Amino acid sequence: MILQIPRWPIASLTIAWCLAAGLPPVTVHASETYAASALDRAKLATVGVLEDTQDQRTPDKPGKILVRGTGFHLRDGYIVTARHAAEKHDATTGTIIEKQIRILTTDLHELPADLVGDSAFMDVVVYRVAEAHRAKLRASATFAAGDVLPGQDVFTVGYPMGWGPTMSFGHLGNTNTFLQTVDTRLIQADVAACSGNSGGGLFNDKGEVVGIMHAIIQTERDDSTAHCSRMAFAIPALLAERIVKSAIDGKPMTFSKMGIHMMAVKDGTKWRMAVKDVNEPSKSAGIQKHDIIIAVDDTEINDAAHLKNYLIERTTPGQQVRVKVRRIDADLTFTVTLAGG
């Protein structure tokens, strides 16, 4: 599946969901940057997400394995992938999430996995392989603790254009960027990725998951459904881990809310965010309309997206946060007990 978007003001870009589709396999030699054990573990934990039907375009190749996306085994049979890599179009209801998918291990075991939970909001879904088949999942991956930094070494394992598993190596770029395809910040990485890498892990040098592959930007248009790029974007592990945990625990995912709407204003020479409208819980905490938001818990807030992602990734409903604001010429600090929703 390829998502075409209109021309952007700066350039004509195509956001290509990293959905099914390759580069020839890469021979990888361990280096001082990547330990062989980390590479092996990441590769063994990676699975392909298979097409749900035989491709009618290749009736002369009934034995062909059709991989549409990538995922990874977290633990205890739980498979994590991008939600759009497990969607299908229904003529009656539109795009729906598959209740069951088939995955392919690196040593070619085809296993069914049942839906556990998902977040369309964040493009993450969790499935689980039945206990009878879990012994065939030879390795598991773990989410990295803490956030990532620009320039950090990373690699990804996946099934680009149906081939794989392949590996691609690179570095992180902007770790706080945005696309219109998902309602959260994304991590940019300069790894080679194609249609088919979606849902795969973006790994650090220890083989830990720092992100879930989400999309690529292709700067050239063609008529092919196969798209590749070295500008890839991933859902941050900080956020993905919370979504996965909620799905496994069987609890709805709730995010913290301050109850404010913001607008851009100039504070001296710097553009900041001011409160346009204030509701609960910020209103009873003392925050007023036109207050300029300076920081939350000592983290400087530069724009509305920055505040939103801080609340999503680093707080939970009911938690108290310290909000520093500028009111006319005075800097004030208020304690807000976050709401949920």
Q: pLDDT of 224-258, one tens digit each? A: 556 788 899 999 999 899 999 999 999 887 889 99
When mean pLDDT is compared across 84-93, 273-282, 331-340, the lowest value belongs to: 84-93
Residue 1: pLDDT band with limits 50, 70, 90? very low
The mean pLDDT of 23-33, rounded to a whole number, is 49
Is residue 249 a contact partner of residue 116, using CB atoms and an 8 Å limit? no
pTM (two decimals): 0.79
Residue 83 has pLDDT above 70, yes or no: yes
When mean pLDDT is compared across 65-74, 257-266, 305-314, the lowest value belongs to: 305-314
DSSP states along 8-65: PSS---EEEE--------------SSS-HHHHHHHHHHEEEEEPSS--TT-TT-TT--
The mean pLDDT of 260-269, rounded to a whole number, is 90
Q: What structural domains and CATH numbers belong to the chain?
A: 14-248 (2.40.10.120), 256-340 (2.30.42.10)
Residue 200: pLDDT band with limits 50, 70, 90? very high
Residue 4: pLDDT band with limits 50, 70, 90? very low
Residue 86 has pLDDT above 70, yes or no: yes
Residue 5: pLDDT band with limits 50, 70, 90? very low
Return all residues near 9 (Cβ < 8 A) that are at least 6 apart.
none
For residue 150, the surrounding DSSP H or E stretch is none
Instruction: For the beta carbon of residue 266, count every other beta carbon within 10 angstroms.
Output: 10
- Alpha helix segments (H runs only) across the chain: 36-45, 237-249, 282-285, 304-314
The mean pLDDT of 143-156, rounded to a whole number, is 94
Residue 9 has pLDDT above 90, yes or no: no
Q: How far is CA 305 from the centre of its chain?
A: 16
What's the rounded Cα separation, in Å, for the pair 310 and 27? Answer: 39
Residue 162: pLDDT band with limits 50, 70, 90? confident
The mean pLDDT of 107-135, rounded to a whole number, is 94
Q: pLDDT of 34-59, one tens digit each? A: 778 999 999 999 999 998 755 445 55
Return all residues near 136 (Cβ < 8 A) that are at least 6 apart.
105, 107, 109, 111
